[in-house]
Structure 1
């Protein structure tokens, strides 16, 4: 039996957690195979460096929908029932996975098809991310929100641990198997989301022009330099340190471990992240959170450099696990700051901007790594990215002294916007 102070004591959060776990398993099991197939198909007709370039274009295909839809998705998450948005995006992901399963079964998978599905998955994530991020604080009391964020991150990271090796194992049984598995798991996600009942919501002011409302997320970040600094730090750090984008190249041409080894490499960062998330769930950070954020980013860069030089699979796995642990601390601090410092009526829009920054660091980081690897080689690209990440941590400590001054997660007594919990304005979704 869960303790009353645990977010798992709340049924709606349990459904949310299970749905996120299933969704992350499906996404990671499928995306790792999309990358593998894209690189494998490209290698049949292209030189290795040109094939690596296709991994960069896959990242672009996923990021462009997010960039184009950010204003709309954040506004939608604050205006429309967040549960409905999450359910609709889960259904779209079911269609994407099912389509790839059918093409793999028929033997008709092509690079254009993979790029198209990657773009559609980018659309789904553009709507799902701000809705789910804004939904989570509606499910638990504010006092246990940091623990809920850690547990939610653990669900994501657990899926990231198990998804890649599961995808690699199923791919060995047949190219359609991982996509069929993802289709089923997305179905589980949709079922869990359907079980979440109405939740308290803060009403969105419908008297203002929609465009003005859409811009509120950017305006709020412009006023809150602590949150802006934390989000932009993650953007540039991961943008430069995108070693994970090069994993198919490392698995095939550097470490020579094949698709099974690729699954292990993809899972290693999440192993470190899950262990860190479990620790943070039991012992949340309480003091010097800003300093710990900067240190974590620096360690992320150091681990990236070590991975870039490694030629031994066990050492590479240790480096990636350390990289994932450092990234988990960054995610935990950033998400907690966003949720506790942002009024509920704006969480969707601020979350959409945050998602744009995060995906910019992930998808554009993949693109940057792919393009740089095509120019100077994969090893040099990874090492240079790690050095750049360390430099970003040092520069951000100077540009945003608010980060160093953040001792705890407690927001100031007076925010520029309405407080997060204003029961007088709350209504059922």
Structure 2
């Protein structure tokens, strides 16, 4: 890109343009067009002088805009984060009690262990799949998130590796950039989003025990996903789905994509904002895949992407519509204070104080507030970062989205999966999703 090289001379960097990575060529022209339209190319700005201050990509982008490059040509490589409601214990424990009584404090209260924050709990109920009714089909739900952890509920119906076009998708495959400095600490505390993907998978399992869950690891437990990796992984995933539909290969089609991550765009008023990301999600809908996305947890009307690409008031356009999902309190009748608001939100589902599974290997360094041995028994208060029991409570639109995804999958399971052309997939998905949207409006 000559224009970028010219700008680099002014700012003191050399653009390093990424090459290749698409894997094996798609078997159909439809899938090939998807890659051509939505495959992102990373451009790394390499400093010419190590003494030069770090590069601010924003003015570089504005120079490119001045030269006529639009959103679909070049954009920032955003960092996406998950959307549970989370706050570190040292922060909330230092808060005066009265703060939990105000409006902002009421939002923060969802983060406290015991009131909606990530907290270990005990569950007596068995794996829902053990008593699930026979289904006409077993929908496939993809969960792009943190890695799936170890849990007794995970069996043959749960996979944590997805290969498309000969490429392993996610952070463990060749699409990811080389890892940076180690993010693990030696404090023994659990990472902020440890167990996030597992918790989501457990919610899908509860809503639709017959579903097959595919975990797509796009972030470590620090909860940071690079947009370029997300786009590339999703582009190859929809290509795999298109090829499978056209070949009649039921083993590689997907039914639902559940997204619990996102970001706030620097220019959300622009109608062309993130044309690539939004268009890629539309491509899933064009081939019959239902996509649900978390609405965000900042109690704001600012558009949170990719959920804000949704338009629940739009008439049918021949695709399965994208659905943005907000969070309800346990009573099912009130919206959780943290849940974002906006005309792009089409559904609200339970998202506060939800119970789901956690990796049984999660056990942080925090110790019980009190413990002692008495008459041969070890007695203690609850250890708030010991999830070896395999279950937890957590809150966030991160979790209302998979509740909706599981609901959609359960409705899909009531009939045989479509076969033949893509229109059959679109008709099934649109009927179910639009029915839910109409129900919300009532």
- Find the structure with the greater CA-based Rg: 2
Q: TM-score, normalised by structure 2?
A: 0.25
Higher strand proportion, which one?
2
Q: TM-score, normalised by structure 1?
A: 0.25
Which structure would you say has the larger RCO, counting Cα contacts within 8 Å and 6 or more residues apart? 1
Higher helix proportion, which one?
1
